[in-house]
Amino acid sequence: MKVFHRSKLSIQNDIGSLPEAEACVCKVAEQIGFSDHDNKQIQLAQEEALTNIIKHSFVPGQLEDIVIEFCQVPLGLKISIWVKGIPFDPALFPVYSRKSLEKKYDDRGLGTYLIRNVMDEYSYINHGHDGIEVILAKNLATRSIEDLINDGETEAIDSTYSTDGEKPEYSIGLMNAEEAVEVSRLAYYSYGYTYPYENIYYPDKVVRLNESGRLVSMVARLESGEIIGHSALSMESDDNSNAELGIAFSNPGYRGMGIMNKLWEALIDKAIKEKILGVYAMTVTTHPYSQMAAHHFGMKDCALLLSKVPVLKFKDIREESHPRESIMIAYRYLNPPVSMTIYPPKKHVKMIRNIFRNIGVEPEVTESKVSLSDLKGKRSKLKVKPDTEFVTANIQVDQYGEHTIKKVAEDLRQFCVERYETIYLSLSLNDPFTAILCQEFEKLGFFFSGIHPGDNDVSFLTLQYLNNQVMDYGVLNLDSKFGKELMNYVEKCDPNA
């Protein structure tokens, strides 16, 4: 993996220290290559975040250090702000309201609102006794494939081409850096700008992600070198746990040649060689074709994520118009765990067993012996991440604490106010507290989605919350018998169904 720039700064928890932090992030952003405009946005976001932290995490007169880490990542800059003070929750910061500003000039929460609008990521991790990590990330500006085509720096794909007669020969291999432009062109031609993985439209981002190892792109090439198909493994993390198999598209003029099957065969072989735990596909439900492809390669349905992404527009596939796309996750273990102990909520035991059985694992189901009183004095450990691309949010409970329910409720409230469409909640099935706290989260309006498989320690139960939406389950087009059973179960759990 490519080594990127990393630096660290320690400042006092005083507003007077902000210029020092501003000068440092300005220099780092300049070295990474951000424009003056983006550099100023980064400085503004960091200043607002630090101001919130100084105001909310310390008592008056308390002197402590705040550690700021600057790290160049594949797509740009990541800023981690580490705080050890009074336990605080960024979700409790005031929520900005335009109505409040207009009526009584109440601009509380405006800083958080600005951060979310100028940065590509604003999230936090509650590390318990290790403190809070507030994360800001900004991607480098890069030109999209549409810009390159409009500026005459690359040509659009010839949409009139068709393979009448003999099928041409092609080969499968890893993408070369110089082929990224052609891959982006192919995505643009296949989907317009509706494909939810936005990075695929930016050749420079595709190159950087492949260089870092977070993306592994395979392409189908004609003997002439023309790219006629693409798919990729998108790594969940750096520890080879799970990889998403997707970002798949091909030139419609070459359909019927088995391109996608060969690309997925090559990618799964690559994942096996890299000792990836498992692969999964996010299959759409407006039609069954992507589900059928996933099932063909041994992936089995395990979670139904409602209203997950904006609607995709598939060339030459007729479909009804839906407001948003629901996703069926299909998973396949490449290296199944030897043993697994889980503590599922009693009401969902049967379905959770069935899901694990469907993906080829028989975990040991153990009854939880803990109670809510056992959490007294314990701190929560949460990962909270809004996904502005999909307009959804993810909350992951890594460690239960005395105020976990309250923290999740406040996060949920903020995301609903900011009009995130769906909020997903991940709860470790390997933690006995999940068995008793699941019902508390369901009282907030969360309901069953499925499971996200992992190894002995990381399998998660996924719940979901629909923000001011009523789901029409009749429009979901599912391929497998088990997928339909899972959908029926989700519908029964949906409080608004």
**Interatomic CA distance for residues 181 and 206, integer angstroms:** 9
Q: What is the DSSP string of 305-341?
A: EEEEEEPP--TT------SEEEEEEEEEESS--S--E
pLDDT of residue 161 exceeding 50, the answer is no
Q: What is the DSSP string of 336-359?
A: --S--EE---GGGHHHHHHHHHHT
* Least reliable range by pLDDT among 188-202, 351-365, 419-433: 188-202
Distance CA 97, CA 110 (A): 8
pLDDT-based confidence at residue 417 (cuts at 50, 70, 90): confident
Nearest-CA neighbor of 366 among 351, 345, 383? 345
Q: What pLDDT was estimated at residue 390? A: 85
Say how many C-beta atoms besides its own lie within 10 A of residue 491's C-beta: 17
Please indicate whether residue 431 or residue 309 has the higher confidence score (pLDDT): 431
For range 116-129, the mean pLDDT: 80
The position carrying tokens 């440092």 is: 24
Mean pLDDT, the chain, rounded, equals: 86
pLDDT in tens, 432-480: 999 999 999 999 999 999 999 987 678 999 999 999 999 999 999 999 9
Q: What SS3 class is residue 476? A: coil
Structure confidence by residue, pLDDT tens digits, 27-37: 999 998 899 99
How does residue 156 score in pLDDT terms, banded at 50, 70 and 90? low
DSSP β-ladder status, 215-222 and 170-174: antiparallel
Could you give the C-alpha distances from 195 to 40, 200, 458, 488, in angstroms and in order?
Answer: 30, 8, 29, 28
Report the range of poorest mean pLDDT among 65-69, 297-301, 378-382: 378-382
Q: 84-93, 266-275, 393-402, 442-451: lowest mean pLDDT where?
A: 84-93
Rounded Cα distance, 69 and 468, in Å = 38
Q: Residue 190: in which H helix or E strand, if any?
A: helix 180-191
Name all domains of the chain by residue range, CATH numbers in brackets. 1-140 (3.30.565.10), 145-333 (3.40.630.30)
Number of other CB atoms surrounding residue 50 within 10 Å: 24
Q: What is the pTM of this model?
A: 0.78
What does the block give as tokens for 452?
Answer: 């996200």
